[in-house]
């Protein structure tokens, strides 16, 4: 990445960038939408954030890893909890968010909407 991959700052922020689905690159390759991180007044690394739709796929994959099995294999209560977490993270503001989540959970869009409405009633 920057040629000095043992840079402590880069090592410290890498888990966060990976969790967000971002990409680290040299600061001089940063585009206008990238975030340049500085340490002690020196630009150290640029972070390219993923598009929202890519973020949703990344979040779903992380949730699946955390569960240790496909989200479609979860029981109804666990799927409802996944929908609640995803709603809190803004997953349904992404275009085709409901369809993407429904596919990952192995349920219909109607079921996802029911889970969302159930949350609003409580």
Residue 2: pLDDT over 50: no
Angle CA 14–24–90, to nearest 5: 75
Length of the chain: 122
Residue 5: pLDDT over 50: no
The pairs formed by 104-109 with CB atoms below 8 angstroms and a separation of 24 or more are 104/60, 104/64, 104/71, 104/72, 105/71, 105/72, 105/74, 105/79, 106/70, 106/71, 106/72, 106/73, 107/72, 107/79
Tens of pLDDT, residue by residue over 19-53, are 777 899 999 999 998 999 998 889 999 999 877 66
86, 92 Cβ separation under 8 angstroms: yes
Tens of pLDDT, residue by residue over 45-104, are 999 987 766 778 888 988 999 999 999 999 999 999 999 999 988 888 888 899 999 999
């Amino acid at each position: 990445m920057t040629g000095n991959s043992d840079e402590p700052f880069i090592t410290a922020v890498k888990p966060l960038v990976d969790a967000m689905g971002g990409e680290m690159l040299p600061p001089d390759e940063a585009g206008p939408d990238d975030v340049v991180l500085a340490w002690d007044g020196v630009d150290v690394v640029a972070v390219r954030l993923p598009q929202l739709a890519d973020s949703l796929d990344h979040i779903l994959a992380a949730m699946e890893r955390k569960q240790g099995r496909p989200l479609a294999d979860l029981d109804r209560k666990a799927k409802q909890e996944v929908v609640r977490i995803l709603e809190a993270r803004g997953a349904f503001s992404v275009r085709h968010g409901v369809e993407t989540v429904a596919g990952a959970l192995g349920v219909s869009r109607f079921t996802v909407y029911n889970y969302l409405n159930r949350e609003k009633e409580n």
